[in-house]
Structure 1
Amino acid sequence: MMAVAWKQYFAVVKPKKHVQTLEIRFIVADVETELRITDIMLQDGAFLTGYVPTSKEMLKREPGIVYRHFNAVVRGNAIVAVPNRAAVDQDDITKRVTGGLDYTIRPLQDLPAGALRLNHLYKTRTFKLNKELKAGDELYFSASKRQVEINGVPTTDWEGFYHTIPAGFGRYEIEMIDPATEDEFNPEVAKPIGAAYVLFEVDTWLKGLGGERL
């Protein structure tokens, strides 16, 4: 198969030059070939863009960040609201954006495989642990690090999605049910079991320069 040579050309539009219109011409001469122009992308900021917008200026870390964490004790099933905002007198209240949510869960009783589920509001982005937990075990389910661990050891015995938390607050459902009583056509009959300590940690982000321009 013949190799195809691709070239990328970059140009910078500087706002201080007060650009009002932009005209691009492609001049091809003295060649016998098939020429394809795939796409033209324009984006504010100092970074090169490509097939998708570069996100380096979209977000920024909160200066002097203190990670927010919240504790709960859950028995059976519970719905928990987790804040993702600064105090109302702080400037970043309108600049906060969606971040990752990390869980640390320690059950007080043994939980069989498939008993522990974590859901976003309306049971979306469900996480299900397909491994048993003993009383006192520590499950670490981290969106910010893309890790799932039991007692510090990575595990792949799970299915579902990492969790995010929107600006303001997020609402989450924690379920501990007996899988033997589960009915997919009547989920309300599943028997709640067990209790657990739950630590929520919020991975906070603010709008960057590019985010402010959107």
Structure 2
Amino acid sequence: MKTLLVIDSSARSNRSTTRALTARFAAAWQARFGEAAVIHRDLGANPPPAIDEAWIASAFGEPNGETPAALANSETFIAELFQADVIVIGAPMYNFGMPSALKAYFDQIVRVGRTFAFTEDPENPYQALIPSKPVVLVTSKGSGEYEAGGVLESLNFLEPHLATILGFIGLGDIAYTKVAREEYKDEAWRYMVSAAEAEVDRLAADLAVA
């Protein structure tokens, strides 16, 4: 049985395009492997705490064999990443980047000694520690002009930021499913949703047998 980790970050509990698409992927996965094969981390409903002084002191302190209380959430999130065979992330664009709950999540999981390590190579000072596995990144944006060639392309920090963080910890095998024109809900938006649904179905089928 393969394990799927679904990470939702939309603040909307309803009317969310990214949630609808990640749920579609999860439903296909459950149909193949069963309900127990899906781990759902809902950051929109349960935002991770921001890192603080206690977190930093614990993360960079000398390990003593026990997990400090300040790192409990971090350990849970990291364990899920290692356990998963495939990861699906729903990330709407908020103010040109990712939702704050998703940023807080990444702050919790990018951790020295757990998801990355320092090296002695001055040209490559970091080593990713999570084994490579497929990541499906589902994004949505208010305008299509944030995509490549659009007049707002330079303001799109969503996918570049996510790709940088994911690649840094070893998760560079990313497939993108994108929907735009959320502000318009017009024919072009409906076409994008339909195409994204087809892409999600294809990815769910391909990754289930990969």
Normalised TM-score (structure 1): 0.24
Tell me which protein shows more helix as a share of its residues.
Answer: 2
Which of 1 and 2 has higher RCO (CA within 8 Å, sep 6+)?
A: 1
Normalised TM-score (structure 2): 0.24
Tell me which protein shows more strand as a share of its residues.
Answer: 1
